[in-house]
Amino acid sequence: MNNRQYLLIGLSVLMAIPSSCPLAGSNDNTKQPFSNGNVACLKLVYTEQEYTETKLDQWEDIVELARAAYGGHRGAMFVAAYSRLQKIDAAGVSTIEPINEEFVTLISMSASLGFAPALDLLAKLYMTPDYNPYLGMVYLSLCVELGHAELIPLQLGAREEFLRLNGGDKVLQEIDRILQEKMAIIRDNCEKLQASTDPFFAIKSLTLVTSEDAKYEVKYWRKLRNSDDVSVA
C-alpha cells in the first residue's frame, strides 16, 4: 500500500464518524491508545493568519484558486481540497462527493507547508479508532510546534496515555524523532517556496510531509513496543 492509498482509506473513514468526542482513555496497556471507539477532539482554533489564508474572496474563481494552490499558496491548497469534494448539478444543487485522491494530495501539500488546519485534519485521521494513533500524535504535536498552544492539554493527555502502553517510552521517543523529521521537511519546503517563482512549485518542488507515513503503520509500532532497540525500520 502506498502513502496516498494509506491516507485515502483513513480519510474516507474519518469523514463517516462524528468529529467531536472526548479523548479516549484505557487502563489496558496491551491495546493501542484511543482504541475504545472515540476519536480525539482536536479543537484547533484558527489564527488570524490561517483565517486570512483561507478567505474565499481573494480568488476570482476556481481557476484562480487552482493556480494559487499549485503555485504554493497553502491556504488555497486547503480550500481547493474541499472544493474537489463539492459537485453541483445542472439544477444548482450541491452535494459532497466521497474523499478522492486529489483531496488527499492537496491536504498533504498544504500540511507540507506547515498549514496547521491541514495538519490538524491529518491528526484527526490518524486518531480515528484503530487506524494509527501513533502518527496522530506526530501530527498533533506538529500543530503545537507551529504555535497552537490550545492543543497542549490534549497533547499532554495523549502522552500520558502512550506511557501507559507496554513500551510506551520507546514509542514517545520515536514519535519525537519523526516529529523533528517532519518539521525539517516543512522548514525546507517553506525556504524553497520563498526563493521560488515557479507557478507549479507545489507539483515540481514540494516534498510531502506524508511521504513516508505508510512506513509507520501499526505493525511498525507494535514491533517497536516489543523490541529492545528503537531502530526497527
Q: Which residues pair with 88 in a beta bridge?
A: 94
Q: Assess contact for 110 and 97: CB atoms under 8 A.
A: no
Band of residue 97 on the pLDDT scale cut at 50, 70, 90: confident
Residue 228: the pLDDT is: 63
Query: Looking at residues 123-141, what average pLDDT do you find?
Result: 89
Band of residue 13 on the pLDDT scale cut at 50, 70, 90: very low
pTM: 0.81
CA distance 199 to 59: 16
Geometric angle at alpha carbon 133, from 132 and 135, rounded to 5°: 75
**Residue for cell digits 493527555?**
157
pLDDT tens, 19-70?
333 222 333 334 455 544 444 455 899 999 999 999 999 999 989 999 999 9
CB atoms within 10 A of CB 208: 18
Query: Looking at residues 183-194, what average pLDDT do you find?
Result: 98
Q: Assess contact for 35 and 126: CB atoms under 8 A.
A: no
